[in-house]
């Protein structure tokens, strides 16, 4: 189907079903229960899962296939956001032109940075991309916020104002991002007993886009172009000795990856029409690296899982505070309750990074292939249990995808 083999078609269908049913899957607990704290089925968070999944899929095309580790991919995320907001300011709140411009501008920007950075490899390439990203952040934060040609609005962030031209904005069009009149914030809430499920227009737009780019990523992985990128990662020097010039392939991968990041930035602005320089900081670049490694570098679905994993911790664990802990352990004697809360306190709330760091360390040590490898091990274990054999796994391994 769609030019994919049976395995890839099944994977695409599974991702589609999970994406479609996300409002149900991510709200397993009743709304009024104590465990509702762990529900993640509200629109803003679901949108982040999908948008950062797109960001990580694009980064994985560069890092997972070629082995080139970029520490500056957040620059393209920020450029995409700024481009989308400028389209809102100049034309209209329709998200289609804004998203299209974000992809084009990010592609041109990544072509420029990639042309310079790819003259080096290894750690030198990584440092160059980091330097470009930090220069982009500095430009957006200060230089380009000069009143004479205010392109970024500095630390306040770029947003749409009432006196902006918006030459194509109709009188009856929604005064916020929309898809041909359908507001991105439009939400239908379905109440089923004690459960509440939100179906948001913005989320499903992002989900459809993610399915499209996920399909394109599969085609890239399986194409001759993808095989050339794998050859670059395997042994670029030997590849060059055969007479093949690897630079056009790595530059193309860099540009494609940058366009994915620009698309993610455009979608972020489409959901919330505001662009700030903080999206270009080195911490945002490091975050997508963590997402890809946690999920499984070089795999298809791994970056999506890694993005969801990190964003879940960032938004769910960071909200847990001492009051929530006391409500959970109120059944314990007072002294024991205080002791348990004291022990858990450093790992929740503002300390969620500590929990994430420990989990990341465990994954790197025990699951080098990321969450995908963990899923594969579980599947093999269940298969052995089902067949009634507990034999040790053979030495033959297959790439996780």
Q: For residue range 221-248, what is the model confidence (pLDDT) as tens digits?
A: 999 999 999 999 988 888 888 888 889 9
Q: What is the mean pLDDT of residues 381-397?
A: 67
- Given a cut of 80, whether residue 24 has pLDDT beyond it is yes
Note the pLDDT of residue 156. Answer: 86
Report yes or no: 167 and 307 within 8 Å, Cβ to Cβ.
no
Between CA 60 and CA 213 the distance in angstroms is 12
pLDDT digits (tens, 9 = 90+) for 260-286: 999 999 999 999 999 988 889 888 899
- Measured between alpha carbons, how far is residue 394 from residues 272, 339, 380, 391, 398 in Å? 50, 46, 11, 9, 11
Given a cut of 90, whether residue 111 has pLDDT beyond it is yes
* CB-based burial, 371-400: b 16+ in 10 Å, e otherwise: bbbbbbeeeeeeeeeeeeeeeeeeeeeeeb
DSSP for 268-287 reads HHHHS-EE-GGGGSHHHHHH
Residue 132 has pLDDT above 90, yes or no: yes
Task: Among 145-149, 301-305, 321-325, 362-366, name the one with the lowest average pLDDT.
Answer: 145-149
More confident of the two residues 364 and 59: 59
- pLDDT higher than 80, residue 398: no
Checking if the pLDDT of 394 tops 60, the result is no
| pLDDT of 106 above 60 | yes
Residues 6+ apart with CB under 8 A from 43: 185, 187, 198, 200, 202, 203
State the CB neighbour count (10 A cutoff) for residue 181: 10
- In this prediction, residues 352-358 reach a mean pLDDT of 86
**Torsion of Cα atoms, 16 then 17 then 22 then 28, to 10°:** -160
pLDDT band for position 88 (50/70/90)?
A: very high
The CATH number fitting domain 6-281, selected from 3.30.310, 3.30.70, 3.30.200, 1.10.3470 = 1.10.3470
Q: Which alpha helices (H) appear in 67-94, and where do they start and end?
A: 74-90
Share of the chain above pLDDT 70, in %: 97
Give the mean model confidence (pLDDT) for residues 11-34: 90
Q: What mean pLDDT do residues 204-221 have?
A: 95
Q: Give the model's pLDDT for residue 58.
A: 95
Instruction: Determine the pLDDT at residue 5.
Output: 87
346: number of Cβ within 10 Å: 11
What pLDDT, on the 0 to 100 scale, is given for residue 1? 67
Predicted confidence band of residue 136 (pLDDT cuts 50, 70, 90): very high
Share the mean pLDDT of the chain. 89
pLDDT at 292: 93
d(CA 395, CA 393): 7
Q: Does 171 score more than 90 pLDDT?
A: no
The reported pLDDT for the residue numbered 143 is: 83
Domain residue extents for the chain: 6-281
Q: Is the pLDDT of residue 36 over 60?
A: yes
What's the pLDDT score for residue 390? 55
DSSP SS3 for 397: coil
Per-residue pLDDT, averaged over 83-109, amounts to: 94
pLDDT of residue 401: 52
pTM score: 0.91
Quote the pLDDT of residue 389: 63
Tell me the pLDDT band of 146, cut-offs 50, 70 and 90.
Answer: confident
CA quadruple 333, 338, 344, 350: dihedral sign? positive
The per-residue pLDDT for 356 is 85
Please report the pLDDT score of residue 150 as a whole number: 81
């Amino acid at each position: 189907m769609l030019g994919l083999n049976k395995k890839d078609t099944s994977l695409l269908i599974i991702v589609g079903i999970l994406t479609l049913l996300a409002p149900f899957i991510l709200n397993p607990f009743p709304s009024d229960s104590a465990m509702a704290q762990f529900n993640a089925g509200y629109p803003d968070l679901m949108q982040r899962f999908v948008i950062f999944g797109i960001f990580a899929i694009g980064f994985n095309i560069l890092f997972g296939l070629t082995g080139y580790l970029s520490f500056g991919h957040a620059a393209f995320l920020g450029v995409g956001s700024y481009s989308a907001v400028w389209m809102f300011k100049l034309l209209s709140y329709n998200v289609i032109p804004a998203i299209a411009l974000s992809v084009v501008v990010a592609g041109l920007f990544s072509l420029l940075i990639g042309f310079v950075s790819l003259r080096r490899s290894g750690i030198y390439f990584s440092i160059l991309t980091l330097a470009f990203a930090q220069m982009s952040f500095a430009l957006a934060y200060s230089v380009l916020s000069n009143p004479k040609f205010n392109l970024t609005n500095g630390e306040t962030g770029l947003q749409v104002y009432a006196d902006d031209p918006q030459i194509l904005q109709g009188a009856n069009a929604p005064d916020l991002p929309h898809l041909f009149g359908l507001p991105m914030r439009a939400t239908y809430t379905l109440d089923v007993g004690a459960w509440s499920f939100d179906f948001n227009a913005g989320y499903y737009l992002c989900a459809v886009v993610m399915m499209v780019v996920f399909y394109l990523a599969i085609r890239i992985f399986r194409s001759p172009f993808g095989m050339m990128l794998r050859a670059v990662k395997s042994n670029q020097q030997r590849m060059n000795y055969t007479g093949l010039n690897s630079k056009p392939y790595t530059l193309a991968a860099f540009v494609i990856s940058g366009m994915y990041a620009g698309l993610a930035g455009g979608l972020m602005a489409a959901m919330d029409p505001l662009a700030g320089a903080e999206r270009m900081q080195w911490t945002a670049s490091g975050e997508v690296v963590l997402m890809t490694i946690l999920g499984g570098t070089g795999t298809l679905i791994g970056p999506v899982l890694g993005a969801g994993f990190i964003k879940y911790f960032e938004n769910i664990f960071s909200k847990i505070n001492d009051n929530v802990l006391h409500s959970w352990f109120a059944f314990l004697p007072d002294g024991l309750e205080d002791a348990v809360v004291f022990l858990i306190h450093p790992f929740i709330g503002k300390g969620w990074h500590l929990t994430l760091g420990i989990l990341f360390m465990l994954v790197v040590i025990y699951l080098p292939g990321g969450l995908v490898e963990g899923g594969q091990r579980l599947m093999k274990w269940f298969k052995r249990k089902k067949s009634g054999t507990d034999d040790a796994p053979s030495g033959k391994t297959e790439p996780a995808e």
